[in-house]
Amino acid sequence: MPHSVNRRCPANHYTYVIRAGDMLYEIANRFNVNLSNLLAANPGVDPYYLRIGETICIPVCPLNHTVKVIQWGDTLYQIARKYHVSVARILASNPGVNAYNLRVGQIICVPLGCPSGYLVYTVKSGDALFSIANKYSTTVQELLSVNPQITNPNILFVGQKLCVPVIDSIEDQIREMTLEEKIGQMMIVGFNGYAVNDHIREMIRKYHVGGIILYDYNVESTSQLLALINTLKSVNAVNKIPLFITVDEEGGRVSRMPPEFLNLPTNEAIGDIDNPQLSFEIGKVIAEQIKAFGFNMDYAPVLDINSNPNNPVIGDRAFGSNPQIVSRLGVQTMKGIQAGGVIPVVKHFPGHGDTSVDSHVGLPAVDHDLNRLRSFELIPFEAAINNGADAVMVAHILLNKIDPRNPASLSKTIITNILRNQLNFNGVVITDDITMGAIVENYDIGNAAIKAVNAGSDIILVARGYNDEIKVINALKNAVESGIIPRQRIDESVYRILKLKEEYNLTDNRINSIDVNRINREIEAEGQGDRFVVPKEKM
């Protein structure tokens, strides 16, 4: 076909007149047009011999659209599927196009759509398809399969839009972290005193710990507690990852709030009423109360079933002795805490309610088999997991008929086989404090931490003692470097931790003030009178 010097261009094309030195691929690049589509829009043009003064038509489509030249057999439905968009979006971009009467050679603008799991990438100078594939950990073949607008894999144009796989930013973050930073994220530690001291400052700045736990001996007043948490956040400014600021705030006798605050009812009192809506509202008030200071994780609710009247540690901390009541009210309290923007940690898996020894001072042992656990103790935990539990605290309890050698917190049978595989829990697993008597009276604390991580724990809680904290950190690091703990095991835990922090949008932003009176009014409203007034207990 002879050159068409005076070619007439369709309305959705730009008319361009060839000048001296023009090359067709340079024109395509200049106008952000696929070379193949440019040729299709200009039948008869010799791409290697352009004549000065010759007219060519440049397909013009809106931003984030690609040009499609209709071929024989094309339908709008097929085009929509191929380009991952709806027919309606194509029609909206092409006014006047008859969806049922496409003409061969007709040019339409197709909005660039990307399938689920892909995002739009803009081609930059120097990009090649193989380099983009490497950058996004995929293959050229995969890129071609989701980018039908690429007709020549060897030719990309600056500004061209491609669909590329979404990169998991957390995985990228983990790849950039040192082993010390990863191990730090797997630690929540405590300290003595009302103000930040050199030891906790070192834990944050040198060892990059992922979280802090505060007890009553860290709390003197509202202004002091707020200043303490703000200072902890400021100290953590050298790290890229925000802190878990954690606390045991169950309501009732286990509370860490300053004396200016009213106390919330015991779980036992809530269980006597058995009102799920009240449980939810109590959870929200707990979250609002502690979040006002900057706490973002609460070791609550208690999902233990108070089945043993001789139990020295649970008692009125449980919602009752009936697994259905504990499940119903515990799940609602958990949801209330979540609704308040705080991470709830359900505890004490697999159930501390039928023990006669306080794990703070010794190692409790029970003789229940798995059938008994599944029919009783595990019911509230399974309900919580099925309702979106974020984190589970595992107790220091020896289950003789399941794992007679290791307490639950150090047992792969309990954590990986039962909690993860049988109950399908994919969230964060936290040990109970491993400075408790149940561990330190029976195990070397460093070896206990190693066993806990290999069993499937993500976070080791070391609530007391600078020397013990250092011992655990060094033990974990040496275990990884010697191959006792696989590096993949560490990365799995760090991924869950960072994912949870991301989901709750944690930051180290300071909080300026707290309205104590407003929170107390809400506590009074939920308390419904004198029957909920209970003493606080130091635990």
Active site residues: 360, 432
Other Cβ atoms less than 10 A from the Cβ of 19: the count is 11
Closest CA to 32 of 54, 64, 56, 8: 64
Q: How many residues does the chain have?
A: 539
Q: Are strands 161-165 and 118-122 parallel, antiparallel or unpaired?
A: antiparallel
DSSP string, 28-48: HHHTT--HHHHHHTSTT--TT
Question: For the CA atoms of 215, 221, 222, 223, what is the dihedral angle to 10 degrees?
Answer: -120
- Taking the alpha carbons of 517, 521, 526, 527 in that order, is the dihedral positive or negative? positive
The whole-angstrom separation of Cα 218 and Cα 192 is 6
Q: H-type helices in 31-84, by residue range?
A: 35-40, 76-82
Q: Comparing C-alpha atoms, which of 391, 373, 348 is closest to residue 254?
A: 348
The whole-angstrom separation of Cα 20 and Cα 31 is: 18
Tell me whether strands 428-431 and 391-394 are parallel, antiparallel or unpaired.
parallel
Between the alpha carbon of residue 121 and those of residues 31, 88, 132, 166, 511, the distances in Å are 18, 23, 9, 10, 38
| Cα gap 61→92, rounded to integer Å | 12
Spatial distance between the Cα atoms of 3 and 43, rounded to a whole number of angstroms:
9
From the CB of residue 524, how many other CB atoms can be counted at a distance below 10 Å? 12
- Selection from 261, 281, 399, 392 nearest residue 329 by Cα: 281
Token reading at 225: 């507690």
Place of tokens 């001072």: 361
- Tokens 């200009």 correspond to 42
Q: Is 464 helix (H, G, I), strand (E, B) or coil?
A: coil
The alpha carbon dihedral of 376, 382, 383, 384 has a sign of positive
